[in-house]
Amino acid sequence: MPFDSAPLDSVPLRVVIAEDSVLLREGLTRLLTDRGLAVVGAVEDGAALLALVDELAASPSGAPDVVVADVRMPPTHTDEGVRACIALRERHPGVGTLVLSQYVEERYASELLAGSTRGVGYLLKDRVAEVREFVDAVARVAAGGTALDPEVVAQLLGRSRKRDVLADLTPREREVLSLMAEGRSNAAVARQLVVSDGAVEKHVSNIFSKLGLGQSPQDHRRVLAVLTYLNS
């Protein structure tokens, strides 16, 4: 899935980096700075990330536009980065969150994407080497868009899906799914399309059925439906 171009505004995007590796932290800072972004802070763990964003949000300059964080950080090097980003989305919903991972961790990706895909990204660290695409992804997430690594999409959707699974959707159902991909709730979709909440709920139910997304405690159907749309 190609990354869309996301031109930077004249005012530099303000970025906070959370990465425990000094070399990678300094490398990301240099890379983004050289491309015209403003790195306003760099920390090494989730707790420091939350504290820094809270501090910036309370300052005259305001919260950063986007956070770039490693999935695994001290003290346990498991899911601190994801947990911090989930907390940030609750405390500062206007701040984009882009998570970097050494390899695809489906559970963490699903947790990060649950609820809304607006202003969120999940990329493999190898993508950093593709500088233009990486910077475009940072800018897109900062602007409220989505940046998902093709490998993340492939694993979450299952590699066996070959046909155009959206072909069975009606034009209205595609429109509803498109708005879902923008992170809109059912109520917001209803307002946008000038229809009742009940009508949207019926469309969403039909979308889940046609995409083969049955009820499952392990899967978030709304996230999987959006990923299907983004991958099509």
Residue 222: CATH number of its domain: 1.10.10.10
Examine the domain organization and report whether 152 and 176 are in the same domain: no
| Number of domains making up the chain | 2
Examine the domain organization and report whether 183 and 153 are in the same domain: no
pLDDT attached to residue 8: 46
DSSP 91: H
Whether residue 199 is contained in a domain is answered as yes
CATH of the domain at 148: 3.40.50.2300
pLDDT attached to residue 230: 76
Which residue type sits at 42? Answer: A
Q: What are phi and psi of 224, to 5 degrees?
A: -65, -35
Examine the domain organization and report whether 207 and 111 are in the same domain: no
pLDDT attached to residue 217: 55
**Distance (Å, rounded) from C-alpha 87 to C-alpha 125?**
22
pLDDT attached to residue 152: 74
pLDDT attached to residue 232: 65
Q: What is the SS3 assignment for 43?
A: strand
Please classify residue 206 by burial: count the beta carbons closer than 10 Å to its beta carbon, then call 0-12 exposed, 13-18 middle and 19+ buried.
middle
Final residue of a structural domain among 157, 185, 216: 157
**Containing domain of residue 193, as a range?**
171-231
Whether residue 1 is contained in a domain is answered as no
pLDDT attached to residue 14: 97
Q: What is the SS3 assignment for 68?
A: strand
Q: Quote the tokens at residue 71.
A: 């999935």
Whether residue 218 is contained in a domain is answered as yes
**Distance (Å, rounded) from C-alpha 215 to C-alpha 106?**
18
Whether residue 166 is contained in a domain is answered as no
Q: Give bridge partners of residue 17 from the DSSP assignment.
A: 42, 68
Q: What are phi and psi of 127, to 5 degrees?
A: -70, -20
Whether residue 6 is contained in a domain is answered as no
How far is C-alpha 8 from the geometric centre of its chain's CA atoms?
Answer: 18
Examine the domain organization and report whether 50 and 79 are in the same domain: yes
Q: Tens place of pLDDT for every residue, the chain, 232 residues?
A: 333 344 444 679 999 999 999 999 999 999 999 999 999 999 999 999 999 999 999 999 999 999 999 998 888 888 889 889 999 999 999 999 999 988 777 777 777 777 677 899 989 988 888 899 999 999 999 999 888 887 777 666 554 444 467 788 898 998 999 898 888 889 999 999 999 999 999 999 999 888 888 776 545 788 888 887 777 6
